[in-house]
């Protein structure tokens, strides 16, 4: 990605963010329940998906050897 492409992408992201804020503010002004519920639901979904991904990664990561790792941690504590 070139510098110009990066700047264009940044400008597009800023424009999209401003558009999203404008849509929410218009919805709030019109007292629309969905203007609040949809962004909150989307944010909650993103946080839940991130938490699930982190948990899955932690649960399924294969370590080299648990005895070696424990031994390295103990040795690191002695040298410090």
What whole-number distance in Å separates Cα of residue 19 and Cα of residue 28? 14
- Dist CA 73 CA 64 (whole Å): 14
Mean pLDDT of 52-59: 92
d(CA 35, CA 29): 9
Share of the chain above pLDDT 90, in %: 24
Query: Would the pTM of this model clear 0.85, i.e. be above it?
Result: no
Domain boundaries, the chain: 1-31, 33-80
Contact 43, 49 (CB under 8 A): no
- Between CA 38 and CA 33 the distance in angstroms is 9
How far apart, in whole angstroms, are the C-alpha atoms of residue 33 and residue 27? 8
Tokens of 17: 């963010």
Instruction: State the pLDDT at residue 63.
Output: 76
pLDDT (tens digit, 9 = 90+) per residue, 22-40?
888 888 888 888 888 888 8
């Amino acid at each position: 990605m070139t510098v110009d492409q990066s700047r264009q992408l940044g400008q597009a992201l800023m424009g999209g963010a401003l558009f999203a804020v404008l849509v929410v503010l218009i919805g709030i002004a019109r007292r629309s329940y969905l203007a609040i519920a949809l962004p909150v639901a989307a944010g909650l979904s993103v946080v839940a998906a991130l938490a699930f991904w982190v948990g899955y990664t932690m649960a399924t990561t294969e370590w080299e050897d648990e005895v070696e790792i424990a031994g390295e941690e103990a040795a690191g504590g002695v040298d410090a």
